[in-house]
Chain A
């Protein structure tokens, strides 16, 4: 067995709808190591949530897993029965959902909701579970947790509710925590608190985190590795530095360029043209080709394979094929590449100072 906690091999998922079959996930392979944070980045409808729901065994009824396997500590989760999955879900792998307003039961006290997982998965008494619930709520930073156990979700603010959801997810010390856009509905200040909380918890309990988001700023903050998802496929995957400073796929370029920094001046903001692909009837070739100013003729006919850029970095674009012409990078991306080269030079000179530059 490798050191991978979770391994997804060639996963294909489709949904049967009235309009036809939607190929939501097409040949995704991923691995997750112990204690690392992997970010899945992509637009809505790119399939990032579907990948995560398939890990949890929470896919909708009209979903079919056409092929592939999800190995968790060597066991294929997809082969497990519903009954067996119940012992994994919430205990070994747990999930934080996007909307803290709707993922808590409004008619139950938070004390009950936090201790529920403990009562189900671990043989503990009610009083012990409540004690643990207080500890968990204190861990995620709910002030005066002991006295608030009998409060209902509506008595908490949005940020506090997201902390409570996090406490529930952490109740059984899961091996993997899946966070599906946990901060999208929150303000920047609260978002920063939740991100710090997750990083802090990871240091304390060394959980592996899969972090789904479309905010690249958040990714730069939390991730060790990044997978960029487009049209149900992973188009680029690598270490966080490689994705941000040495991106290879034109879609990653587009995402990075469309983020305004607070120092962007008045020139037109870069927007990726067009809209996400229709996965009902995906055209042949690269799905991004229609929106890609760097598309080659090859893109229209054949879907590009994954090209290896470094031992940890892969990208699916024909631009990396030795036969393709060299393209001029957009200035913002060229600046990032240059920074990457300089950084590597500096790191080579001072091998002790690997990682950060300063």
Chain B
């Protein structure tokens, strides 16, 4: 199954947290691959395990079970300080809370340069200064911002600092853990545009974790929908939104409010009730490139559903929500 363009592969990942006498299966046997240069979206409601997945990949947690391969190397077999340092340089993270993820006691310059210092990427003090200034410019800030403290910046500006800090070590993969959900709508658009621009210019790969589905659809190439620690549906972003197959995905999509009062008046929300699991299900490729979590006997049902949506969407008029695009 080795793929040339595969940057990250997660196989049978399980993450169990011990909470008192109860074991919480935060991530329950998930597998997926992230290819070079793509944005892989991971969506789901809070508590579904999407952030845990991101944190396990960056090795903030040790996986309970399963393997993580980065550039073909199994992280469990990674030995030596040097190789770990290289991994930590290659994979960076942008956090949700732009207020909590920056050290309030050091200046922006030191925050951004920390990675540069650790990985010894600057030849001289002057080079370090130039790199910081360049990074600030890349994320749309002024070089003068280097002398400020985090509290002097707005939420959107702080998130830009978080991005600059991640970029400082020239990573290959950036894990974005809800990078925009704490920001205003108008600022969200700025940050998303910035992330897309940086991806084009630096051949970055993103693992984009979020619960805002419209933004995820906009930024992602492929999307995995998580529910209760499992991936229930995985496919191309557009495909998934146009032809959602798993009932949970349908329920999520039907909950998004659109800026369109007439559409809102007639929108009906589908409620998802978890099916009792009689048989061990797993992800099956129902249509090429489109995976759904189900039992083997359910595959034909989903295929029929797909055909059905195809014919309906080709004959009926587009709904209000699409009228303004």
Interface residues of A (CB under 8 A from B): 43-45, 157-158, 187-192, 195-196, 214-221, 240-241, 244-245, 254-256, 258-265, 268-272, 275-276, 332, 335-336, 339, 343, 356-358
Contact = CB atoms under 8 A, between A and B. Distances in A.
10 contacts: A43-B187, A254-B186, A258-B185, A258-B189, A260-B214, A261-B324, A263-B325, A271-B189, A271-B193, A343-B262
Contacts of A216: 185, 259
Given A44-B155, A188-B255, A262-B217, A270 B189 contact: yes
A196 B254 CA distance: 14
Nearest to A339: B323
Interface string B176-211: 000000001111111011001000000000000001
Contacts of A264: 214, 217-218, 325
What range describes how many residues of B lie at the interface? Answer: 35 or more
Given A336-B324, A356-B266, A214 B214 contact: no
A187 B45 contact: yes
Contacts of A276: 154
B157 A275 contact: yes
B184 to A, nearest CB: 5
Given A215-B257, A261-B322, A261-B324, 15 more contacts: A44-B184, A189-B272, A195-B257, A215-B185, A217-B259, A220-B257, A244-B260, A258-B188, A262-B213, A263-B325, A264-B217, A269-B189, A271-B186, A275-B157, A275-B187
B259 A356 contact: no
Given A217-B256, A259-B259, A356 B265 contact: yes
B257 A255 contact: no
B252 A188 contact: yes
B185 A158 contact: no
A220 B256 CA distance: 11
A345 B190 CA distance: 37
Given A264-B325, A275-B156, A256 B186 contact: no
Contacts of A187: 45-46, 211
A272 B325 contact: no
B186 A255 contact: yes
Contacts of A256: 259
Contacts of B299: none
A43 B263 CA distance: 24
Contacts of A260: 189, 192, 214-215, 217-218
Interface string B150-162: 0000111100000
A357 to B, nearest CB: 6
Given A189-B252, A262-B253, A332 B184 contact: no
B225 to A, nearest CB: 12
Interface in B227-278: 241, 251-253, 255-267, 269, 272
Contacts of A245: 261
B121 interface: no
B283 interface: no
A192 B269 contact: yes
Contacts of A195: 257
B321 interface: yes
Given A260-B215, A262-B241, A336-B324, A269 B192 contact: yes
A262 B256 contact: yes
A157 B323 CA distance: 37
Contacts of A270: 189
Interface of B: 45-47, 154-157, 184-190, 192-193, 196, 211-215, 217-218, 241, 251-253, 255-267, 269, 272, 321-325
A220 B320 CA distance: 13
Given A158-B46, A255-B185, A264-B325, A358 B266 contact: yes
A268 B264 CA distance: 26
B186 A43 contact: yes
Contacts of A45: 154
A220 B184 contact: no
Contacts of B188: 258
A221 B253 contact: no
A269 B255 CA distance: 22
Q: Ordered nearest first, which 5 A-B pairs have the shortest CB separation?
A: A217-B257, A271-B189, A216-B259, A187-B45, A258-B189
B32 to A, nearest CB: 22
B191 to A, nearest CB: 9
B264 A220 contact: yes
Nearest to B48: A187
Nearest to B272: A189
Contacts of A196: 269
A346 to B, nearest CB: 11
B187 to A, nearest CB: 7
A357 B187 CA distance: 33
B322 A221 contact: no
A7 to B, nearest CB: 25
Contacts of B241: 262-263
Residue of B184, B211, B251, B263 with most chain A CB atoms under a 10 A cut-off: B184
Given A43-B187, A271-B190, A332-B324, A240 B211 contact: no
A131 B188 CA distance: 45
Residue of B241, B255, B260, B266 with most chain A CB atoms under a 10 A cut-off: B260
Contacts of B189: 258, 260, 269-272
Residue of B157, B212, B262, B322 with most chain A CB atoms under a 10 A cut-off: B262
Contacts of B218: 260, 264, 269
